[in-house]
Structure formats: structure tokens, C-alpha cells
Amino acid sequence: MKQKSAPYLKLSPLEQEVLKCLWDKEKMYVREMYNCLKGKRKVALTSIAVILDRLHKKGLVERTVETSRGGFRYLYGAAKNQVEFEKHMVENAVNGLITRFGKSALSYFNERFAK
């Protein structure tokens, strides 16, 4: 039986770059994110908006609504700093291994980290 992995364990390269920009700047609008990424890769402004929305749905990005000329816009920020995020990813990966492999995983971890 194949076990589904959590959605936050699979981040696209663009999602990873978006998070890196947010960790550097803390809070950003879509256009600011576009400016952060456009030197690194060719990407459309709309693609960045979609990626930020997906990261928000995964719980990795927080957003607040601000009123602006002609409507509203979102201000995005990382839900966790880089250290917390990495710890969370490792914790989920280890828990997934323990859930999937049980005692074998625990024995391996005990042997590996007893050194």
C-alpha cells in the first residue's frame, strides 16, 4: 500500500525559491516577489500569484489583505522562519519513516545516532 506524503514535503523549485525570498525579506507583495525572482528565472507575475496561493493553502505562507487603489492586494510572509521550517520538514520525514517502517526505522535511528 502506497502512503501519500504530506503536500509540504514536495515543493517545486519555484516554491522553494519563493520561500527563500520570503525568508530574506519577511513580508512581500506579489510584485515584490516577482522583482526578487525575475533575475534568477523567467517567470510570469501571474505564476507567482498562483504559487503564493498554493503555499498559503499548504500552510507555509501567511497572507493579509490590504485595501489599495482599485481593490485589494495580499501581503505575504513565511509562516515559519527557515530554521523552524527545516525542523518541521525533518520531523515530518522521520515521523513518516516511523509510521511506514515501524520498529525497523526505530532500530536504525537508535544504531545510527548511538555513534
Residue 5: per-residue pLDDT: 47
Residue 4: per-residue pLDDT: 46
Alpha-helix residue ranges (DSSP H) falling in 3-102: 13-25, 30-37, 45-57, 82-101
Burial of 26 (0-12, 13-18, 19+ CB in 10 A): exposed
Short-list 98, 95, 92, 100, CA closest to 58: 92
Residue 70: per-residue pLDDT: 84
Q: Which helix (H) or strand (E) holds 113?
A: helix 103-113
98 CB neighbour count, 10 Å cutoff: 14
Per-residue pLDDT of the chain (115 residues; tens, 9 = 90+): 444 445 446 789 999 999 999 999 989 999 999 999 988 889 999 999 999 999 999 999 999 999 988 899 999 999 999 999 989 888 988 898 999 999 999 899 889 888 7
d(CA 105, CA 85): 23
Short-list 55, 69, 46, CA closest to 18: 55
Residue 69: per-residue pLDDT: 85
Count of residues in the chain: 115
